[in-house]
Chain A
Amino acid sequence: MRRILALDGQELRVEVRAEADGAVLRVGIEGDDGELVARETPGGWTVTKGRHTVEAGVTGGRSGELVVQIAEHTYRLETGRGAAGGTRRSGSADAGPADGRSEVRTPMPGKVVRLLREEGEQVAADDGVLVFEAMKMQNEIRAPASGVIANMRAAAGTPMEGGELLFVVEPVESA
Chain B
Amino acid sequence: MFRRVLVANRGEIAVRIIRACRDLGVSPVTVHSEADRDSLHVRLADESFEVGGAASRDSYLDGERVIEAARAMDAEALHPGYGFLAENGDFAARCAERGLVFVGPPPEAMRRMGDKAAAREAAVQAGVPVVPGSDIVAAKDAEPAAAGIGFPLLIKAAAGGGGMGMRLVRDPSEFSDSLRAAQSEAEAAFGDARVFLERFVENPRHVEIQVFGDDFGSVVHLGERDCSIQRRNQKLLEESPSPAISPGLRAEMGEAAVRLAHGAGYRNAGTVEFLLDPEGRFYFLEMNARLQVEHPVTELVSGMDLVALQLRVAAGEPLGFAQSEVSLSGAAIELRITAEDPFAGFVPATGRIRDFRPPAGPGVRCDAGIVSGSVVSPHYDPLLAKIIVSGPDRETARKRAIRAVRETRLVGVASTLPFFERVLASAPFRSGEFDTSFVSVHWCALSRNGADGDSPARAELAPLALAAAAAELWRREGSNSNASGAPPSRWRLAGVAEAHRDRI
Q: Residues of A at under 8 Å CB distance from B?
A: 1, 3, 5, 7-8, 12, 14-16, 18, 20-23, 25, 27, 29, 32, 36, 38, 40-45, 47, 49, 52, 54-59, 66, 68-75, 77, 79, 92, 107-109, 113-114, 128, 131, 134-142, 156, 162
Contact = CB atoms under 8 A, between A and B. Distances in A.
A77 B469 contact: yes
Contacts of A69: 411
A55 B382 CA distance: 25
Interface string B466-486: 111111111101100001101
Contact of B472 (A66, A73, A138): A66
A109 B55 CA distance: 9
Nearest to A66: B469
Contacts of B468: 38, 44-45, 47, 56, 58, 68, 70
Task: Please indicate which of the listed interface residues A41, A44, A49, A92 has the most CB atoms of chain B within 10 Å of its own CB.
Answer: A44
Given A47-B468, A138-B232, A138-B234, A22 B487 contact: yes
Main secondary structure of the interface of A (DSSP, over half): strand
B247 interface: no
Contacts of B359: none
A79 B406 CA distance: 28
Contacts of B379: 108-109
Interface in B460-504: 461-475, 477-478, 483-484, 486-491
A3 B473 contact: yes
Given A36-B467, A66-B469, A140 B345 contact: yes
A135 B380 contact: yes
Contact of A75 (B347, B372, B465, B487): B465
B470 A5 contact: yes
Interface stretch (B92-100, B120-128, B348-356): B348-356
Contact of A23 (B234, B412, B455, B490): B490
A42 B354 contact: yes
Nearest to A34: B463
B464 A36 contact: yes
Nearest to B493: A22
Given A14-B470, A18-B474, A75 B348 contact: no
A137 B411 contact: no
Contacts of A73: 455, 457-458, 461, 465
Contacts of A55: 409
B153 to A, nearest CB: 23
Contact of B461 (A3, A70, A141): A70
B378 A108 contact: yes
Among the interface residues B418, B450, B467, B484, which one has the most CB atoms of the partner chain A within 10 A?
B467
Nearest to A32: B463
